[in-house]
Amino acid sequence: MDDRIRELVEQVPAWLRTTGEYPEIVLSSRARLARNLRPFRFALKATDQDREEIRTFVLDRLRLHPRLAALHQLELEGLGEAERRVLVERHLVTRDLLKHPDYALVLYEPDESVALLVNEEDHLRVQVLANGLALSTVARRILDLGEILGLLLPLAYREEFGYLTSCPTNTGLGLRFSVLMHLPGLVLAKRLPELVKLLARARLSIRGLYGEGSDIVGNIFQISTTRNLGITEEELLAHFQDTVRQIIQMEQEARQHLEQETPDLVEDRIHRARALLENARLISFEETARLVSALRLGVGLGRIFDVKLQTLNELLFFAQPGHLQVLFGHDMDPQERDRRRAAYIRTKLQSGEA
């Protein structure tokens, strides 16, 4: 077991805390930069030798900046499958990076608020994560990091198109803001089509947290910006903030409406979810996410007082397959996973931590 991975699974990442703005609706805010080095071919055409040189070159240059030099460092090649999965589940690494782990590297702040991926789809991906609604904060931090990288490294850039990236969707600013939102109100009120239309007009993208099939689990959605040309950094941020606030308001209205129109139904759903989580002996991740969503709604509506939002965030997080396997120290078949997961949830909800 890699020590760094063990360290990770034993801590709660800073962005999962519930001390931010609108924690009952916005789980986290994220900003991401895509950058490439002028002299090297992109991932599609890069050879192993290119990838090795990129890694050496980047590490060599980052050492000049004390804060970047102090980042924790993990190489993907030596890790087992469950360990790699942990990194994906913690949003430190993208699934993409797992497909080509050769010479891939993740550098991160110990509290996981900043991560730098080397040799992903782009030579460099930088992300800043914060809990709750904190888009201005993540924007400021990512732009600072962008300036530092621009000083340390020769970046691929053209005046007319901006930063040159592997995928044309990122060309230009190479910048993406996103939020992870819990939207059970809009889902229950069947207002999702309305949301999808609103987002399409604002050129934002939405994706669900997918389980094994195509169903969205836990009513958790990632909403992101997509434009990188024809817009300034400030405009992109301001538009996104406006739309996210609008969605928060829609969700709040939907929750209020549900409570007024179908109070018994809502109450029943919340308490059934709690009973199942507290008593199940076998539980899949999909079911966990669905039930945690209902309980989260209960906490948000003030119907549940003795369970903390933070506990629910942690449940959702540590009940993921990779985390469970690393926490319990071995690979498991699905049934053992479901049993361990159920036991973990029961303990967590019964202990004082709840």
- Comparing C-alpha atoms, which of 228, 237, 74, 37 is closest to residue 149? 37
Among 203, 245, 246, 263, binds another protein (CB under 8 A): 203
Is residue 14 a contact residue for another protein (CB under 8 A)?
no
User: Whole-number minimum distance, CB 232 to another protein, in Å?
Assistant: 5
Contacts with another protein: how many residues (CB under 8 A)? Answer: 61
Is residue 80 a contact residue for another protein (CB under 8 A)?
no
The burial class, CB within 10 Å (0-12 / 13-18 / 19+), for 14 is: middle
User: Whole-number minimum distance, CB 214 to another protein, in Å?
Assistant: 4
Is residue 210 a contact residue for another protein (CB under 8 A)?
yes
Is residue 70 a contact residue for another protein (CB under 8 A)?
yes
Q: Which stretch binds another protein (CB under 8 A): 19-27, 170-178, 240-248, 265-273?
A: 170-178
DSSP state string for 54-96: HHHHHHHHHTTSHHHHTSEEEESTT--HHHHHHHHHTTSS-HH
Among 11, 77, 136, 229, binds another protein (CB under 8 A): 229
User: Whole-number minimum distance, CB 197 to another protein, in Å?
Assistant: 10
Separation CA 195–CA 250 (nearest Å): 9
- Strands 105-108 and 114-118, how do they pair? antiparallel
Q: Which stretch binds another protein (CB under 8 A): 74-82, 100-108, 226-234, 294-302?
A: 226-234
Interaction residues for another protein, span 255-294 (CB under 8 A): none
Separation CA 13–CA 148 (nearest Å): 25
Question: 269: which 2 tokens?
Answer: 């759903």
User: Whole-number minimum distance, CB 139 to another protein, in Å?
Assistant: 13
* Angle separating helix axes 334-350 and 263-279, nearest 10 degrees: 110
User: Whole-number minimum distance, CB 65 to another protein, in Å?
Assistant: 6
Dihedral sign for Cα atoms in the order 341, 343, 345, 347: negative
Binding site for another protein (CB under 8 A): 36, 38, 40-45, 63-67, 70, 121, 144, 148, 150-152, 155-169, 171-173, 175, 192-193, 196, 200, 203, 205-208, 210, 213-216, 226-233
